[in-house]
Structure 1
């Protein structure tokens, strides 16, 4: 009887847990990242990155429309995907796509840290509920950002870095403020 009660309690404990995973929906190679209301990021497991390029398709839905509590924070850049570089922390050297809902459109930006200095460059605006292709490449000491194989932006990178152990960077909301409601983005890695 004790074993039966113990087994019941253990199963109750595990079924009562609300475990958040990086991708609650993973269909045909697509992942849906959800940044919960009041959070900066979705739960995720660190993942090493050892390539010179990253390409993926991503789709934002209407949850990407938001209004910040403090008006000037509306100009803050949220992050989509990217990678750290030079065997450093991502706020030292990294490249990733940024995004924001600004002036009634979804803007896409290059968002980089080079030797601890942040650089942000507007790339283009994209439509909601539409898959778009994104690519970041390291070419001749530059991060080269491309959206839909047509719009291209370059940012100089640390020329003295020798690579090393880097890691992927996942969706993040903010700036200063956390997500005002659940925000989801669908990603298909190439």
Structure 2
């Protein structure tokens, strides 16, 4: 509840696109919430600084507000999957090998997907829906030759394109709108990596 109130206050005073400690301010290990903004007419979120991670598990929570409701100009593009958060893999570019969660607004619901590139081939699977303005937990783990996506307590397994486990060459993949069309209006997503 405290988390939701903090984000509501930030939204009211216009502090979108910022980083806010989620725990005690003097605790350097406390998770940090980053409020990402994808500007109208753009694809990339702010705060998308290039950063490597050696983690084999990425756990986070995310909150979408009403800005996640949109209508594409071309109706079939409503099925395009926007990107939420994840990482590249196998010491290659993310459009060759990566794992992340995706999302779109379709049929009056915010739908969540497992979204991967495996040897350059796009693989996705719908995982469920989330409510606006409520936090949901997400986790991607590398387990041998698979990605294990955990959403709403259910695990979904998608094969990787390699078996490399120890690597510091994974880089984070941040919120991105598209598909074929840019964001029709500003979109705000709050993510707290755990």
TM exceeding 0.5: yes
Aligned position for 2:39: 36
* Separation in structure 2 between the aligned mates of residue 160 and residue 147 of structure 1, nearest angstrom: 23
Aligned position for 2:80: 76
CA RMSD of aligned residues (A): 1.4
Is 1:79–1:172's contact at 8 Å kept on the other side of the alignment? yes
Aligned position for 2:5: none
1:55 positional shift: 0.2
* Separation in structure 2 between the aligned mates of residue 162 and residue 137 of structure 1, nearest angstrom: 11
Q: TM-score, normalising length from structure 2?
A: 0.83
Instruction: Find runs of 4+ consecutive structure 1 residues off by over 6 angstroms.
Output: none
Aligned pairs for 1:124-135 (under 5 A) are 124-135=128-139
* Separation in structure 2 between the aligned mates of residue 58 and residue 173 of structure 1, nearest angstrom: 16
CA radius of gyration, larger in = 1
* Separation in structure 2 between the aligned mates of residue 157 and residue 136 of structure 1, nearest angstrom: 12
Q: Count how many residue pairs are aligned between Structure 1 and Structure 2.
A: 168
5+ residue gaps, structure 2, are 1-15, 23-31
5+ residue gaps, structure 1, are 1-21
Show CA shifts across 1:99-150 (max 9, x none): 00011000000000010011010111111111000000011311010113x1
Determine whether 1:159 maps to 2:162: yes
* Separation in structure 1 between the aligned mates of residue 34 and residue 163 of structure 2, nearest angstrom: 35
Which of 115, 119, 130 aligns to 2:119? It is: 115
1:161 positional shift: 3.7
Is 2:142–2:165's contact at 8 Å kept on the other side of the alignment? no
* Separation in structure 2 between the aligned mates of residue 67 and residue 184 of structure 1, nearest angstrom: 16
Aligned position for 1:26: 20
Aligned position for 1:62: 66
* Separation in structure 2 between the aligned mates of residue 30 and residue 41 of structure 1, nearest angstrom: 18
* Separation in structure 1 between the aligned mates of residue 190 and residue 119 of structure 2, nearest angstrom: 31
Q: Secondary structure at the match of 1:74?
A: helix
1:74 positional shift: 0.3
Is 2:56–2:165's contact at 8 Å kept on the other side of the alignment? no
1:187 positional shift: 0.8
